[in-house]
């Protein structure tokens, strides 16, 4: 048997933290119909005439706050994770990165794996939970580019791994180590938000109520419910580190626009906690496997300021998995399992 290719996919990042580069990135991201699900002309006008001109300078300032000496945090951490996987998986595997938006692109990653003679390719969207606007669009674009390259039959897709035992164990290690050095009254598990309609669009059984009882567990009736999967991840990590239900909350960040989004919102929870006498908070972000703008800036900088303005004393950001050795082992196990499934 020949070598197995691995394509690691995350959302991507601007090439540089400049308004011009951020603008290019935002256009590609927001023109994706899985992200802004509206007619093309309306989406084009909204993105190119309203959102990008208004946000590219603002967003560039935020990117500049978290830029690492080696580059964008998301890209740097993904590259380190890929390097760890190469060592962990050994010579029978080839590992490339292909971001959904920006560079290195999905097309370039797949092209390298084809050129290097991969007999099969495990496409690994690095999103633990399923959403149309992250996981599904990564799969759709990978399929599109693989078809162009004539390698569709070689591609295998990694499933969401939101309660994979090794993934949970890696998170539990990172969270518990942080709490040992950063005492906290309370833990927040903050996930990237999605509009309610995105969840209802995939609800073939008309099951979705987007409430606590409906999202209490993942069942045959709601197998791809993002909110239910997020709650399952939180429960699994909390159980692994010995948190009871009164010591943590699951919430959702990064909301924008006028649509109704799943909740509770991260910002709303931050305002409420000091009223309950909770003064120190630690925040984990288990929908992200690598630290990025949404964790480092939105949570670690702005979230901390918002919490203190609401009357809290201190908010600390728990690092994402990044290149944690247990996560590298977990990722390698997920990839081997997917490769064996063919």
Token couple for 283: 């925040």
Cβ-in-10-Å burial (0-12, 13-18, 19+) of 15 comes to middle
Work out whether strand 93-97 and strand 4-9 pair parallel, antiparallel, or are unpaired. Answer: parallel
Q: Report phi then psi at 184, rounded to 5.
A: -140, 140
pLDDT of residue 203: 66
Cβ-in-10-Å burial (0-12, 13-18, 19+) of 180 comes to exposed
What is the value of pTM for the model shown?
Answer: 0.95
C-alpha to C-alpha distance for 104 and 113, rounded to whole angstroms = 13
Q: Crossing angle, helix 73-89 and helix 325-340, to 10 degrees? A: 60
pLDDT of residue 207: 61
Q: In 3D, which of 327, 319, 262, 329 has the Cα closest to residue 295?
A: 319
Q: Quick check: helix, strand or coil at residue 200?
A: helix
C-alpha to C-alpha distance for 244 and 226, rounded to whole angstroms = 22
Maximum C-alpha span of the chain: 61
pLDDT of residue 342: 72
Residue by residue, pLDDT tens for the chain (342 residues) are 589 999 999 999 999 999 999 999 999 999 999 999 999 999 999 999 999 999 999 999 999 999 999 999 999 999 999 999 999 999 999 999 999 999 999 999 999 999 999 999 999 999 999 999 999 999 999 999 999 999 999 999 999 999 999 999 999 999 999 999 999 999 999 999 998 888 877 766 666 666 666 677 888 888 889 999 999 999 999 999 999 999 999 999 988 777 899 999 999 999 999 999 999 999 999 999 999 999 999 999 999 999 999 999 999 999 999 999 999 999 999 999 999 987
Spatial contact of 289 and 126, defined as CB atoms under 8 Å apart: yes
pLDDT of residue 197: 83
Q: In 3D, which of 211, 135, 178 has the Cα closest to residue 295?
A: 178
């Amino acid at each position: 048997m020949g070598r197995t290719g691995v394509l690691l996919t995350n959302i991507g990042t601007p090439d540089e933290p400049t308004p011009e580069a951020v603008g290019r990135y935002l256009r590609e991201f927001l023109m994706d119909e899985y992200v802004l699900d509206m007619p093309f002309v309306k989406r084009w006008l909204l993105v190119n005439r309203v959102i990008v001109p208004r946000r590219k300078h603002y967003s560039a300032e935020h990117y500049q706050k978290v830029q690492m000496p080696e580059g964008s945090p998301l890209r740097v951490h993904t590259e380190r994770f890929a390097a760890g996987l190469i060592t962990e998986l050994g010579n029978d595997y080839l590992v490339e990165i292909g971001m959904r938006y920006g560079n290195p692109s999905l097309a370039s990653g797949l092209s390298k794996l084809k050129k290097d003679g991969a007999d099969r390719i495990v496409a690994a969207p690095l999103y633990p939970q399923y959403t149309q606007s992250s996981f599904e669009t990564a799969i759709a674009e990978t399929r599109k580019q693989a078809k162009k390259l004539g390698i569709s039959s070689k591609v295998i897709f990694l499933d969401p791994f939101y309660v994979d035992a090794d993934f949970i164990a890696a998170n539990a290690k990172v969270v518990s180590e942080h709490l040992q050095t950063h005492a906290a009254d309370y833990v927040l598990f903050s996930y990237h938000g999605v509009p309610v309609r995105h969840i209802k669009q995939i609800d073939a059984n008309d099951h979705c109520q987007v409430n606590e009882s409906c999202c209490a567990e993942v069942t045959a009736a709601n197998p791809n419910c993002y909110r239910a999967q997020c709650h399952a991840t939180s429960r699994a990590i909390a159980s692994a580190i010995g948190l009871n239900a009164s010591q943590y909350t699951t919430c959702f960040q990064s909301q924008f626009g006028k649509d109704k989004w799943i909740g509770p919102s991260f910002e709303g929870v931050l305002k409420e906690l000091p009223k309950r006498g909770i003064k120190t908070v630690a925040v984990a972000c288990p929908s992200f496997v690598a630290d990025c703008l949404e964790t480092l800036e939105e949570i670690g900088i702005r979230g901390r300021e918002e919490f203190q303005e609401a009357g809290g004393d201190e908010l600390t950001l728990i690092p994402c998995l990044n290149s944690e050795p247990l996560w590298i082992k977990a990722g390698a196990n997920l990839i081997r399992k997917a490769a064996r499934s063919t």
